A and B are shown apart, each in its own frame.
Chain A
Amino acid sequence: MDLRRLTITSFNEGLRNKKFSAREITEEFLESIAEKDEEIGAYLSVFGDQSLDTARQVDEKIAAGEEIPELAGVPLALKDNMLVEGTKTTAASKILKDYVASYDATVVKKLKKENVVFLGKTNLDEFAMGGSTENSGFSVTKNPYDKERVPGGSSGGSAAAVAARMALGALGSDTGGSIRQPAAFCGIVGLKPTYGAVSRFGLIAMASSLDQIGPMTKTVEDAEMVFKNICGKDSLDSTSVDYAYEGINSVEDVKKLKIGLPKEYFISGLNKKVESGVSSAVERLKKLGFRFKEISLLYTKYALSTYYIVVPAEVSSNLARFEGIRYGRNSSPDSLRETYLKNRGEGFGAEVGRRILLGTFVLSAGYCDAYYAKAQKVRRLIKEDFDRAFEEVDVILTPVTPAPAFKIGEKVNNPLQMYLEDIFTIPGNLAGIPSLSLPVKKYEPEGGELPVGFQLMGRYFEENKILAVGKLYENN
């Protein structure tokens, strides 16, 4: 079987038509991991036998003539900040290096019910904080398109695994672009759903008012298939909402959607390849019959500052639970205080430490109004920007990143430079709207060209519209 051509959709067809067994494909993916991952470093742990067991069960069901779920046997990778009962979950942090999850995340539970084959857990920036996966406490992941470059982050391991054909798809999490930016850097598709569309129970929290789990796949069609199987209300995440996904099938209806181009996203500093890639996507959509309109999202400029106040504030409180008592311990005989200071001082990497300190600062007495309260107000202005825009258009099209994948080591010592990577993805998280990243054309890692992606943003819970535009784009 040529793993290059295989998608989740074609896998499902092939499996039903007995072109191959789930076990054969799982074996091929495990071989592919064994062969390539030493160099790429996408995985932190690989399940192996456990994956083959699930695949065997799927094959038995098929042999017995039972109906199988549409994701049955699909070999997927999981970002290592999602809990799988009985397996190590580290969030790529040394402070969790020995932590074994005692329950399943809701998304994992849902996918287990679908008989998905989990291949393993993928690398990330520690606690999902970063845009290059260089902040992992364990290893650096390389971009399959150019091994001197980063795969993006924080879901860089998931993106690299899918791009290098070491998984058919993956789950990532996105707080400020952590699904979409690595998807763009690795030439794959990534969906950040509407805030509340997918349960975060069992996702190690980074910034709770922004975190969302979403699919990372080869095609938009695949992303849709995974998304509709993980969305919906969960009593264990009170921010999740009752939501049954319904796709749009009529091409005529899709072509009626009006697409907005916000002038604040087409700035002069845009990399030439990104600029020409995104323009070519716009031209193709125009040829398909879509109408475009220039719009304005006035407060875009302030999104970065707003985000880097809100996020550290939430980080500083969310990460208080890692105190060196419950999740692995390195006790100090001196005192409890010393135990905290030691475990947290040694356990957290530089970026996590920086955000905790920054968050503690912006929430502290005397500074809270000037920073945190101010940022919450500007967040409202950014959200209202989108509300106004979506009165004029149905979908907003922008670049995903200002430039293609950068070199390993290029930005890691300059946090502000690294933060600027997220300028086009952050506003969607602050507003809470769904947003899709997809490649401007088909890329192959062997092609010698760095991928460029574009972003489609939609109204709250209108994933169906951005996915429909994306599907039409990739099929034409």
Chain B
Amino acid sequence: MLAKKDLEKLADLSRMKLKESEEKKLLHDLGSILNHFEELKELDTEKVQPMNGGTFSSNVWREDDSDTRLSGEKSKEEFPATENGYLKVPSVFGE
């Protein structure tokens, strides 16, 4: 079952900082949920094809036309930080 260090690893992979106080309850909750999943082991699914999604459509094509729905200006309006007309983001390098 899930150990404290597994939970910390998952939180890091998910990029979520957990509070120390949350960890105990999370371990307990995730443990009981994973335990519930054990029932699936009863089923022999070796010859069953997985159902990968909800749709029965495949290869949905469209014409290769450009289609701009949102102007550059409009999309910038909702961006939290801009400078001189550019989108401003935290620096990516230097870690």
Whole-angstrom distance between the alpha carbons of A419 and B11 in the complex? 22
| A371-B43 CB under 8 A given contacts A325-B90, A356-B16 | no
Instruction: Tell me the minimal C-beta distance from B34 to chain A in angstroms.
Output: 8
B40 close to A340 (CB less than 8 A): no
Write out the residue numbers on chain B whose beta carbons fall within 8 Å of the beta carbon of A306: 40
Q: Which of B14, B34, B69, B81 has the most CB of A within 10 A?
A: B14
A374 smallest CB distance to B (angstroms): 5
Q: In the complex the two chains form, what is the Cα distance from A215 to B89 in whole Å? A: 39
Residue A358 CB within 8 A of the other chain: yes
Contacting A at CB under 8 A, from B7-66, are 7, 10-11, 13-19, 22, 26, 29-30, 32-34, 36-37, 39-40, 43, 45, 48-57, 60, 62
- Say whether, besides A102-B75, A239-B55, A337-B95, A353 and B43 are in contact (CB < 8 Å): no
Contact partners of A316 in chain B: CB under 8 A: 14
Given A306-B40, A364-B13, A375-B40, A354 and B26 touching (CB < 8 A)? yes
Judge whether A210 and B54 touch: CB under 8 Å: yes
Chain A interface extent, by class: 35 or more
**B84 an interface residue at 8 Å Cβ cutoff?**
no
B-contact bits for A349-368, CB 8 A (1 contact / 0 none): 01001101110110010000
Any chain B CB within 8 A of the CB of A378?
yes
User: Does A47 make an interface contact (CB < 8 A)?
Assistant: no
Chain B nearest CB from A444 CB (Å) reads 37
Contacts of B57 in A (CB 8 A): 196, 238-239, 241
- Least CB distance, A90 to chain B, in whole angstroms: 13
Across the interface, A305 reaches (CB within 8 A) one of B36, B56, B75, B78, namely B36
Asked whether any CB of chain B lies closer than 8 Å to the CB of A376, the reply is yes
Select one of B10, B43, B54, B70 contacting A209, CB under 8 A: B54
Q: Is A302 touching B32 in the complex (CB atoms < 8 A)?
A: no
Hey, which chain A residues are within 8 Å of B60, CB to CB?
238
- On whether the beta carbons of B16 and A353 are closer than 8 Å, the reply is yes
Contacts of A102 in B (CB 8 A): 70, 74-75, 77-78
Residues of the A chain whose Cβ atoms lie less than 8 Å from the Cβ of B2:
361
- Proximity string of chain A (326-340) to chain B, C-beta cutoff 8 Å, 1 when within and 0 when not: 111101100111011
**B78, A378: Cβ atoms under 8 Å?**
no
- Report the count of interface residues on B (CB-CB < 8 A): 52
Q: Does A441 contact B (CB under 8 A)?
A: no
Cα distance, A336 to B2, chains bound together (Å): 28
The answer to whether B30 and A377 touch across the interface, beta carbons within 8 angstroms, is no
Contact between B30 and A357 (Cβ–Cβ < 8 Å)? yes
Contact A360 B40 (CB under 8 A): no
The answer on a CB contact under 8 Å between A360 and B13 is yes
A126 CB-CB contact with B under 8 Å: no
For A383, list chain B residues within 8 Å (CB).
Answer: 51
Task: Specify the chain B residue showing the minimal Cβ separation from A335.
Answer: B95
By Cβ-Cβ distance, the 4 closest A-B pairs, closest first, are: A345-B17, A376-B50, A377-B45, A195-B54
Which residues of A does B touch, CB under 8 Å? 99-100, 102-103, 195-196, 208-210, 235, 238-239, 241, 299, 301-302, 304-306, 308-309, 316, 323, 325-329, 331-332, 335-337, 339-342, 344-346, 348, 350, 353-354, 356-358, 360-361, 364, 371, 373-381, 383, 415-416, 419, 430, 432, 460
26 A-B interface contacts by CB (under 8 A): A209-B52, A209-B54, A301-B39, A327-B80, A340-B15, A342-B17, A345-B16, A345-B18, A348-B16, A353-B22, A353-B26, A354-B30, A357-B7, A358-B33, A358-B34, A364-B10, A377-B50, A378-B43, A379-B51, A380-B49, A381-B43, A416-B33, A416-B36, A419-B33, A432-B55, A460-B56
Apart from A196-B56, A326-B79, A378-B43, what 4 extra A-B contacts exist at CB < 8 Å?
A308-B33, A336-B90, A344-B17, A345-B16
